[in-house]
Amino acid sequence: MAAEDLATPRDRIAKDLEAVPRRPGSAKPDAIIVADHVTRRFGGMTAVDVHHLEIQRGAITALIGPNGAGKTTLFNLLTGFDRPNSGEWSFDGRPLSQLSAAKVARAGMVRTFQLTKALSRMTVMENMRLGATDQGGERLVPSLFPPLWRHREKEITEQAEELLARFKLDTKRDDFAGSLSGGQRKLLEMARALMTKPSTVMLDEPMAGVNPALTQSLLGHIQDLRDEGMTVLFVEHDMHMVRHISDWVVVMAEGRVVAEGPPTTIMQDEAVVDAYLGAHHDTDLGDDSLLGDDVLDELEAEAEAQEHRTQEDA
């Protein structure tokens, strides 16, 4: 009992996932998202064709793969921003496949976007307040009578201020969101998503376009989410980030899940190497050093380095 309490959430999750088979579509001990036979076609092209996928509750799961692998499309489908040609999935035991994006968010699964959608011509505070739930003043008629919603507005403002402080945006409170830097907008978008008090956070390339100085703090925030008990699913290109913070990695290529496994070993998987090599010219392993001519050598070096690190960790 006591020993378990002492373990970091990361270690605990690693232990939970230890027994999970390293193959596409493997069952998780405590899955929050379960998807079956999800397909999405655009014209003649099949963008997503996922037979079975489970996402572990409370873990950080990374979704990686080369350009055009269907990661973002799968994300859009799961969050209700796109409609599948076939397939169904459940979230926390509740079927979700027919719900609108708004209802998905209200069910507790909230997302961010690859191209940040900060509401530029609203202040940072307004952005945050917009994320809050249960504000009766968002209804047409009650909105005309401030006494009906002023109290809740105060609570929302407090909640927002707390989050802004945590994300170090409190000094920007009254600035227009459009005046923030790219990284600050990413932070704002994440903070705004947290205003909805979600159980699962879906991050679409949280690192894209973020200044390196902010990367560390973003990584920290993502890990904090998990430590608070939230499930995190994110699409990412940056392999370093994947390795550092994720508990489980799902690799997609040409619309299908080709491999799954813990970050420490996933890059040794032949299917993964094939997937990236198959698309090696526009490979988006993210790290620019991996974009050199000799991708195979690079990947091998990566694998070795990982192995080494694993030994260190152990």
Which residues form the interface with another protein (CB under 8 A)?
42-43, 45, 47, 72-73, 75-76, 79, 81-83, 100-103, 105-106, 110-115, 117-122, 126, 129-131, 133, 135, 137-140, 143-144, 146, 149, 153, 176-179, 185, 189, 192-193, 195-196
* DSSP secondary structure of 123-190: BHHHHHHHH-S--GGGSTTGGG-GGGTHHHHHHHHHHHHHHHHHTT-GGGTTSBGGGS-HHHHHHHHH
Distance from the first to the final alpha carbon of the chain: 22
Give the nearest distance from C-beta 176 to another protein in angstroms: 5
**Cβ closest to another protein, residue 120 vs residue 216:** 120
Give the nearest distance from C-beta 87 to another protein in angstroms: 16
**Cβ closest to another protein, residue 72 vs residue 283:** 72
**Cβ closest to another protein, residue 192 vs residue 221:** 192
Q: Please tell me the distance from the alpha carbon of residue 90 to that of residue 67, in angstroms, as a whole number.
A: 27
Give the nearest distance from C-beta 291 to another protein in angstroms: 18
**Cβ closest to another protein, residue 199 vs residue 265:** 199
Give the nearest distance from C-beta 21 to another protein in angstroms: 30
Contact call for residues 111 and 235 (beta carbons, < 8 A): no
Rounded to a whole number, what is the largest CA-CA distance in the chain? 67
**Please, which residues have CB within 8 angstroms of residue 48's CB and are 6 or more apart in sequence?**
38, 39, 40, 70, 73, 74, 77, 84, 255
**Cβ closest to another protein, residue 119 vs residue 271:** 119
Token output for 121 = 């011509």
**Cβ closest to another protein, residue 114 vs residue 159:** 114
Give the nearest distance from C-beta 135 to another protein in angstroms: 5
Q: Please tell me the distance from the alpha carbon of residue 249 to that of residue 273, in angstroms, as a whole number.
A: 14
Give the nearest distance from C-beta 312 to another protein in angstroms: 38
**Please, which residues have CB within 8 angstroms of residue 215's CB and are 6 or more apart in sequence?**
183, 207, 241
Count of CB atoms situated within 10 Å of the CB of 212: 8
Give the nearest distance from C-beta 153 to another protein in angstroms: 7
**Cβ closest to another protein, residue 75 vs residue 276:** 75
